Amino acid sequence: MNLPIKPPNGQNSDTPRRRDSVYMTLLVFLIGVIITSGLLAAASYALLILVGILVNPYARLVAIPLLMVFFITTLAASMGRGKLKPINDLVHAMRAVSQGDFSVRVDCEDVSGDMGRLVSSFNDMASELGGLELFRKDFINNFSHEFKTPIVSIKGFARQLERPDLTEDQRREYLDIIISESDRLANMSGNVLLLSKLESQNIVTDKTVYRLDEQLRKCILLMEKQWTAKALELDVELDEIEFKGNEEMVQHVWVNLLGNAIKFSPEGGALTVRLKRQGSWAVASVKDAGPGMDDATRRRVFEKFYQGDTTHSAEGNGLGLSLVKRIVDLCQGSVEVDSAPGEGATFTVRLPLGSRE
């Protein structure tokens, strides 16, 4: 939901022309009001002289300016209600937005031309800002909740360690829980910082040419402890593919996808990893034999802090797949998930081969 900021000479180069058109409309309106007011003032002045009301020369001297002011004010007020209503509504709406009310909208049904496009653009902007504000509040709520859980756990078990009647086994168990929750907190902090950095980044830097298949093998070996602990059966087929990109950044994609697959795989289950060349694309897939997910979960699986299966919430923080999505987007690729309840999940990543600046 980022708001694009376009340069004056970019795709939005017609903005100055639209602004000039609005100014021209206002200028024509003001000139029309002044000319009409002058004619009405002159006619009224002549009529007052004819009926003998303006006899005093001093009264005649000030009559024209006073009549002009009267007619300009009256005409501007009456005509402005119709002609300038969209501008007045827009000003009030902009003031409301500046005070944090992003629900305000300006009625543009009866407004056409450049003013209609201006009002429509404002409504689109207010809608985008409202979406960003909702996302910000949701992010803060989820973020505070996810951080609070391990902190409360660490605090509770640290207090338990003060008990003098604890056995050595209990003390070791509580210490293991504290260490695990501390690791979870550190991992969450690192993921939040990395995601914030990536979301403010628009291009990939530090690109090198390296073997994508070798990187995947290293990531599988890196996580050997996790998949051997579950006695998972690995089925790996990797084509030899050279890829130009940020090696450290892309590694986060494989680590998160493999970690996710291991987490949801049952004991003794199968884990399938594929890397194929399809034309000018490298296509990698990671498939697990876990519980799978329904359509509602599949649609939201890449959202920050979203965890469809709460039974594994203690093992993650809902940020891994958001990182995967952002990194793949920066690489100008795509990531998809194919899953159904009881049929596991397959995450497929497509990365472009060759230079795509």
Number of structural domains found in the chain: 3
Where does a domain end: 181, 199, 217?
Answer: 199
Residues 238 and 178 in one domain: no
Flag whether 312 is in a domain. Answer: yes
Unique residue bearing structure tokens 């022309």: 17
> What's the mean per-residue pLDDT of the chain?
77
Q: pLDDT tier at 9 (50, 70, 90 boundaries)?
A: very low
Tens digit of each residue's pLDDT (9 = 90 or more) over 281-333 = 999 999 998 888 888 888 888 876 666 554 444 444 467 788 888 889 888 89
| Banded model confidence at residue 60, pLDDT cuts 50, 70, 90 | low
Tell me the three-class secondary structure of 189-244, residue by residue.
HHHHHHHHHHHCCCCCCCCEEEEHHHHHHHHHHHCHHHHHHCCCEEEEEECCCEEE
Instruction: Note down the domain range covering 112.
Output: 15-131
Based on its alpha-carbon atoms, the radius of gyration of the chain, rounded to whole angstroms, reads 34
State the first-to-last Cα distance of the chain, in angstroms, to the nearest integer: 23
Higher-pLDDT residue of 280, 304: 280
Running DSSP on this structure, what letter comes out for residue 352?
E
Helix (H, G, I), strand (E, B) or coil at 165: coil
Predicted confidence at residue 196, as pLDDT, reads 66
**Which segments of the chain are extended strands (E)?**
208-211, 233-238, 242-245, 270-278, 281-287, 334-339, 345-352
**Furthest-apart CA atoms within the chain: distance in Å:** 115
Strand 334-339, strand 270-278: pairing: unpaired
**pLDDT value at position 346?**
92
212 & 305 share domain: yes
Instruction: Say if residue 134's pLDDT is above 70.
Output: no
Angle, to 10 degrees, between the axis of helix 247-264 and the axis of helix 212-222?
Answer: 50
B/e letters for 268-299, b = 16+ CB within 10 Å, e = fewer, are ebebbbbbeeeeebbbbbbbbbbbbbeeebbe
Cβ atoms within 10 Å of 129's Cβ, excluding its own: 16
Same domain, residue pair 101 and 50? yes
Q: Is residue 5 part of a domain?
A: no
pLDDT for res 1: 39
Q: Of 110 and 102, which is predicted with more confidence?
A: 102
Which of the residue ranges 59-68, 98-107, 284-293 would you say has the lowest mean pLDDT? Answer: 59-68
Residues 6+ apart with CB under 8 A from 131: 1
Does the pTM exceed 0.85?
A: no
Other beta carbons less than 10 A from residue 178's beta carbon: 19
> HSE on the CB side for 187, CA within 13 Å?
18
- Residue 337 phi/psi, 5-degree rounding, is -125, 135
Co-location of 214 and 348 in the same domain: yes
Q: Given the structure tokens 């009256």, which residue do they identify?
A: 74
Please give the share of the chain, as a percent, with pLDDT higher than 90. Answer: 18
183 half-sphere exposure, CB direction, 13 A CA radius: 9
The pLDDT assigned to 334 comes to 92
- Quote the percentage of the chain above a pLDDT of 70: 69
Residue 286: predicted pLDDT: 93
> What number is the average pLDDT over the span 161-185?
86
Tell me the two tokens of residue 21. Answer: 């058109």
Residue 357 in this model has a pLDDT that exceeds 60: no
Residue 261 lies in a domain: yes
Long-range Cβ pairs for the range 125-132 (8 Å, 24+) = 125/3, 126/93, 126/97, 126/102, 127/102, 128/1, 128/3, 129/3, 129/97, 129/102, 130/102, 130/103, 131/1, 132/1, 132/3
> Can you give the pLDDT at residue 11?
44
Domain boundary among 167, 199, 231: 199
> Amino acid letter at 234?
L
For residue 171, give the CATH number of its domain: 1.10.287.130
In a domain, 193, yes or no: yes
Query: Residue 131 pLDDT more than 60?
Result: yes
Q: Are residues 224 and 339 in the same domain?
A: yes
| CA dist., res. 221 & res. 225, Å (int) | 8
Based on the domain organization, do 126 and 147 belong to the same domain? no
Does residue 75 share a domain with residue 150? no
Q: What CATH number does the domain containing 219 carry?
A: 3.30.565.10
